[in-house]
Amino acid sequence: MKKFLLLIAILLWGSTVLLADVRLPALIGSHMVLQQKTSVKLWGWSAPAEKIMITVSWDTTTYQVTASRGARWVTEIKTPAAGGPHTITIKGRNTLVLEDVMVGEVWLCGGQSNMEWSADQGLKQSKDESPNATNKKIRFFYVPKSTSNHPQDDVQARWVVCNPEDMLHFSAIGYFFGKRIEAQTGFPVGLINSNWGGTPAEVWTPSDVVYNDYDLRRAAEKLQPSQWWPHIRGEAYNAMIHPLTNFSISGALWYQGESNVGTHWGYRRLLTSMIESWRSAWGKKFPFYFVQIAPYAYGDTHINAAFLREAQTQAAAHSKTGMVVITDLVDNINDIHPTLKKEVAERLASYALGDYYGVSGLFYKSPQYASHTREKGAIRVSFNHVPTALISKGGPPTEFQIAGADGRFVPAKAMIEGKTILVYSNEIKEPVDVRFGFTNTAMPNVFSAEGLPVNPFRTDQ
Q: Which of 79, 103, 127 is the last residue of a domain?
A: 103
Asked if 329 and 181 sit in the same domain, the reply is yes
**pLDDT reported for residue 18:** 45
Q: Both 44 and 122 in a single domain?
A: no
Amino acid at 348: L
Domain span including residue 121? 106-355
How confident is the model over 119-134, as pLDDT tens digits?
999 999 999 999 999 9
Cα gap 49→324, rounded to integer Å: 49
pTM: 0.95
CATH of the domain at 84: 2.60.40.2950
3-class DSSP assignment, residue 412: coil
* pLDDT score, position 16: 46
In a domain, residue 179? The reply is: yes
Say how many C-beta atoms besides its own lie within 10 A of residue 297's C-beta: 14
The verdict on residue 384 lying in a domain is yes
* Exposed e or buried b per residue across 50-79, where buried means at least 16 C-beta atoms within 10 angstroms of its C-beta: bebebbbebeeeebebebeeebebebebeb
- Is residue 160 within 8 A of residue 33, CB to CB? The reply is no
Query: Given the DSSP bridges, would you call strands 457-458 and 433-436 parallel, antiparallel or unpaired?
Result: antiparallel
> Which pLDDT score is estimated for 246?
98
Distances (CA, A) of 340 to 178, 367, 434, 445, 449: 16, 21, 30, 17, 21
Please report the sign of the dihedral spanned by the C-alpha atoms of residue 315, residue 316, residue 321, residue 325.
positive
- The CATH number of whichever domain residue 305 belongs to comes to 3.40.50.1110
Residue 344 sits in the same domain as residue 396: no
Q: Is the peptide bond before 85 cis (omega within 30 degrees of 0)?
A: yes
In this prediction, the residues of the chain whose per-residue pLDDT falls under 50 are: 9-18
The answer to whether residues 191 and 264 belong to one domain is yes
Q: Are residues 174 and 307 in the same domain?
A: yes
Distance CA 193, CA 117 (A): 11
pLDDT at 14: 45
- Report the alpha-carbon distance of residue 344 to residue 341 in Å, rounded: 5
Single residue among 355, 388, 421 that ends a domain in this structure? 355
DSSP 3-state of 439: coil
Whether 191 and 127 share a structural domain? yes
Other Cβ atoms within 10 Å of 7 Cβ, number: 10
461: number of Cβ within 10 Å: 4
Give how far Cα 370 sits from Cα of 267, 285, 318, 424, Å: 22, 27, 17, 18
Query: What's the alpha-carbon Rg for the chain, to the nearest Å?
Result: 25
